[in-house]
Amino acid sequence: MSIDLKTIKHISKLSRISVDEKRAEKLAGDLNSIFDFIEKLNELKTDNVEPLTSVAETTLKLRSDEVKSKNIREQIIKNSPQDNEDYFVVPKVIE
Amino acid sequence: MSDITKQSLTELVENIKNKKLSSTDVTKAFIDRSKKSKELNAYITEDFTSALDKAKKFDQKPNLDLKLPGIPMAVKDLFCTKDVKTTAGSKILNNFIPTYESTVTENIWKEGAILLGKLNCDEFAMGSSNETSFFGNVQNPIDKDLVPGGSSGGSASAVAGQLTPITIGTDTGGSIRQPASFTGTVGLKPTYGSCSRYGIVAFASSLDQAGPMAQNVKDCALLQEIISTYDSKDSTSIDFKRNQYSKELTNNIKGKKIGIPKEYRVDGMPKEIEDLWLKGIQYVKECGAETIDISLPHTSYALPTYYIVAPAEASSNLARYDGVKYGFRAQGENLIDMYEKTRSEGFGAEVQRRIMIGTYVLSSGYYDAYYLKAQKVRKLIKNDFDEAYKKVDAILTPSTPSSAFKIGEKTNDPVSMYLNDIFTVPVNLAGLPGISIPAGHDSKGYPLGLQIIGKAFDEQNILNIAYAMEEKIDFKNKITDWWIK
């Protein structure tokens, strides 16, 4: 398998990470060597194996649906790079 | 007492309880040494003024019933600390000041400990040498220009260099055990679900665990009994009966059955590591334990599995860094452009690489071939351990395939860097506890570690084995203070 520049561009778009030509080429090389290494898994037949999604063999605990954190609006907004009163501010979305 | 920083945690606690030392004495000593140790670059954020205030306050009305009475402690910068900057080693969180405290650190402060500062780590804990940190390399106290391992590199360096009596790290694929091995310290990765993940910056949620890093096994056991609590704020926290690990610690391991997995004898493993392992086998036998050859047939598939599962989870977890709610923001022409520039400028190269791998293996058309496949192989790896534990109580392996390497030596080849975690990754995939203890030196005088892997929730047993071995090994870390001028 080979990851070409077109694929890198596609993944970079999905990841919301802008990548210039030079970085894209470096990434293609890195990802190809990593995927060569990952291909080893194809040696194994796994048709009848159940996928393991969690090692914690436990069921989720139920609790009553109560508000525990009150009046934390200020705390939530505190670290935002740009805010206006009670809102996060982002670049204009609708023209 | 001039050599306060040379004392173990257990000794410091005793001396404070007996009033031979005050919290201020101890805190001052570690702050002084930390200040002289800038060259190690172990700290990202120092909180010394506040630490000294807290120590003085403690001494005015000391509560000596606590387990960590007035003990100063620096922690990995992956734990959210209320009102103290938490960066995860990343530019994207360079200005993030949490408004809440992680459960693990909360547990530590409740027992009387005092925050010294936040320790350097690989960016988002992605790395095996601390070289991916936005805040620069960390030096290994063992030798100049040597990596301390990673991702908990600052933590390992700070404990080995006696900048903090003990610390906590996190371990997703070896990030506690490998740096412990590289610095001649003890590191425990607890069972998945043992320590709450609440307030820890997430990397790969099905693998991440917090754990203690210490100078010796007893200190390690003491911190583990403090940080391991059931927590309703973490949906994967497990409610099981936890031991009083330090009180129940015993070096009596007579009759224990210890498995030696043949698949860990990998190609190209240095003879020094092989010899160390054989020595370890000899030690456990001398302690009255029995060793049994076992097989973990899917061992060689663990690393490829990990490099699908961990990046997949990371790509999802790190989607939250969008320059809107917190952290760094780059200016963009529109919303999408802002996202893309923020993430491109805010994340370092390794983090971007892993987000991209993760995005790719989860993307339409590749999910079954990669992600689902990896989850199936993960099951096979866990089955291997389940099968082995029908015959043995614990498993003994080397911690790493080599001793610490030089800064810059492996940065150009991601796969060779990943191979560092070959012996530690299977443990995370299976959710088991594992401990690395220093067991010898290589020809360069660098420390080498052995790993003891336990059954799930059997921390007490591996701590006991480690405790018994520690006594036999009688390891002395060679710290020359080369960085102190």
Mean pLDDT of A44-66: 89
The residue in chain A having the minimum alpha-carbon distance to the alpha carbon of residue B97 is: A79
Which pair of tokens denotes residue B259? Answer: 């498995």
Per-residue pLDDT tens over the stretch B65-90: 999 999 999 999 999 999 999 999 99
Beta strands B394-398 and B257-261, pairing class: parallel
Q: How far is A92 from chain B (nearest CA, A)?
A: 7
Q: Which of residues 33-52 of B touch A (CB under 8 A)?
A: none
Beta strands B114-119 and B447-454, pairing class: unpaired
CA distance A16 to B243: 45
User: What 8-state DSSP symbol labels residue A62?
Assistant: P
Q: Where do we find the tokens 């993307």? A: B363
CATH number assigned to the domain with residue range A5-43, chosen from the 4 options 1.10.20, 2.50.20, 1.10.357, 1.20.1070: 1.10.20
Judging contacts by C-beta atoms under 8 Å, the chain B residues touching residue A34 are 307, 353, 357, 414-415, 418
- Inter-chain CB proximity B379 and A81 less than 8 Å: no
Q: How confident is the model at residue B268 (pLDDT cuts 50, 70, 90)?
A: confident
| A1, pLDDT greater than 80 | no
Average pLDDT, chain B: 97
Helix axis angle, B349-362 to B302-317, nearest 10°: 100
- What is the predicted pLDDT for the residue at B381? 98
How do the domains of chain B map onto residue ranges?
A: 4-263+270-296+386-473
- What is the predicted pLDDT for the residue at B436? 98
Q: How far is B441 from chain A (nearest CA, A)?
A: 31
B42 contacts B138 by C-beta, under 8 angstroms: yes
Per-residue pLDDT tens over the stretch B322-333: 999 999 999 999
For the four alpha carbons of B289, B292, B297 and B301, in that order, the dihedral sign comes to positive
CA distance A27 to B347: 14
| B472, pLDDT greater than 60 | yes
Catalytic residue among B54, B76, B410, B455: B76
- Inter-chain CB proximity A61 and B363 less than 8 Å: no
Catalytic residue among B102, B151, B181, B436: B151
Percentage of chain B exceeding pLDDT 90 = 96
Active site residue B410: no
| B184, pLDDT greater than 80 | yes
| A59, pLDDT greater than 90 | no
Per-residue pLDDT tens over the stretch B278-336: 999 999 999 999 999 999 999 999 999 999 999 999 999 999 999 999 999 999 999 99
| B272, pLDDT greater than 70 | yes
Here the contacts of A75-84 (C-beta below 8 Å, separation 24 or greater) are: A75/B99, A75/B100, A76/B99, A76/B325, A78/B97, A78/B99, A79/B95, A79/B96, A79/B97, A79/B99, A79/B325, A79/B326, A79/B327, A80/B324, A80/B325, A80/B326, A81/B323, A81/B324, A81/B326, A81/B327, A81/B328, A81/B329, A82/B329
Q: How far is A16 from chain B (nearest CA, A)?
A: 5
- Inter-chain CB proximity B206 and A55 less than 8 Å: yes
Q: Where do we find the tokens 């893309």? A: B340
CA distance B403 to B163: 22
- What is the predicted pLDDT for the residue at B466? 98
| B2, pLDDT greater than 60 | no
- What is the predicted pLDDT for the residue at B430? 98
- Inter-chain CB proximity A49 and B352 less than 8 Å: no
**Architecture of the domain made up of B4-263+270-296+386-473:** Alpha-Beta Complex (3.90)
| B206, pLDDT greater than 70 | yes
Judging contacts by C-beta atoms under 8 Å, the chain B residues touching residue A63 are 232
- Inter-chain CB proximity B232 and A61 less than 8 Å: yes
B401 contacts B421 by C-beta, under 8 angstroms: no
Beta strands A87-88 and B447-454, pairing class: unpaired
- Inter-chain CB proximity A27 and B370 less than 8 Å: no
In sequence order, which residues have a C-beta less than 8 Å from that of residue B297 and are 6 or more positions away?
Answer: B263, B384
CA distance B166 to B73: 6
Average pLDDT, chain A: 91
Q: How far is A76 from chain B (nearest CA, A)?
A: 8
Nearest by CB: B307 against A38, A56, A82: A38
The enclosing H or E element of B459 equals: helix B459-473
Please tell me the least confidently modeled range out of A1-5, B178-182, B194-198: A1-5
More confident residue, A61 or B43: B43
The enclosing H or E element of B406 equals: none
- Inter-chain CB proximity A53 and B359 less than 8 Å: no
Q: How far is B210 from chain A (nearest CA, A)?
A: 15
Active site residue B76: yes
B139 contacts B47 by C-beta, under 8 angstroms: no
| B467, pLDDT greater than 80 | yes
Per-residue pLDDT tens over the stretch B386-434: 999 999 999 999 999 999 999 999 988 888 888 889 999 999 999 999 9
| B47, pLDDT greater than 60 | yes
Judging contacts by C-beta atoms under 8 Å, the chain B residues touching residue A82 are 329
Judging contacts by C-beta atoms under 8 Å, the chain A residues touching residue B332 are 91
- What is the predicted pLDDT for the residue at B133? 98
CA distance B398 to B447: 12
CA distance B78 to B122: 10
